[in-house]
Amino acid sequence: MARIVAGVTSSHVPAIGAAIDNKRTEEPYWKRVFSGFEKSKEWMARIRPDVVIVVYNDHASAFSVELIPTFALGCATEFPPTDEGWGPRPVPVVKGHPELAAHIAQSVILDEFDLTIVNKMTVDHGLTVPLNLVFGSPREWPCPVIPLAVNVVLYPPPTGHRCWMLGRALRKAVESYPEDLRVVVFGTGGMSHQISGPRAGLINSAFDKDFLDNLTRDPEKLVRIPHVEYMREAGAEGIELVMWLIMRGALDDDVEEVYRFYTVPASNTAVGHIILENGKFARRSKQ
């Protein structure tokens, strides 16, 4: 059967994508950020997943205020990069895995999660930047990608608990797929940041580091964080962190933290990153 072997979280700052596209990664400001993902690239090259599921939020590219699904699953064969105002990013077209995506949709919807099935969709920096950070800039992405878009842009976003439970349903769906596939789940967005209003530029490193700690050791504590606490402690856009709980919910209770990276700032955002392996997989890989 298919199995989820690990989870990855990463911020998806658009300026990181611009730095990659404009070949500025070696500049001192950006080198500090990109050097934190070198070990992650080595890890990913060793893990070699067959499929990755990327939990991210669309930034009014594929969806607009006219239509905003709470959870939308990409079931297409491919997802082109979108034009976010300055042309599509020069990254490979994302190839999907429609068979596994359709299976996930069936399993999760019958598990009483009302996913929106999307058979045609472009993807923006929310998805492509995290792929760059762990896969580099290849001519083609090394494996199929299933996008799972979450509304954290327009009120009301889903609760952390709902995202956690969706992660549990996602794990059940993957593990019931008959093909032998190694799957890695990405949770993207965050960490603390606010891009407008009187608190624009807010970064709360203490909150961010506590969140990273508990993602490994006590995720159910994070599940109980209400929306207002994200707003107060992590800024208006800090709510993106609920997407990390989908990733964590998709993993086993027993996980091993493989790597962690945190730095501020990148643009006006705290960059957080963690790699968690399911305990059984981590122990087998060391034998």
- Residues labelled as active-site residues: 125, 193
Measure CA of the first residue to CA of the last residue in the chain; give whole Å: 22
Among the listed residues 202, 191, 186, 200, the one whose alpha carbon sits nearest the alpha carbon of residue 275: 186
Among the listed residues 10, 45, 52, the one whose alpha carbon sits nearest the alpha carbon of residue 250: 52
Three-state secondary-structure class, residue 77 = coil
Q: Which residues of 76-103 are buried (b: 16+ CB within 10 A; e: fewer)?
A: bebbebbebeeeebebbebebbbebbeb
**Taking the alpha carbons of 49, 55, 60, 62 in that order, is the dihedral positive or negative?**
positive
Give the amino acid at 234.
Answer: A
CA distance 220 to 37: 27
**Phi, psi at residue 117, to the nearest 5°?**
-90, 125
Among the listed residues 240, 81, 75, the one whose alpha carbon sits nearest the alpha carbon of residue 173: 75
CA distance 247 to 261: 17
On whether the CB atoms of residues 270 and 209 are closer than 8 A, the answer is: no
Three-state secondary-structure class, residue 62 = coil
**Phi, psi at residue 198, to the nearest 5°?**
-60, -25
Give the amino acid at 111.
Answer: D
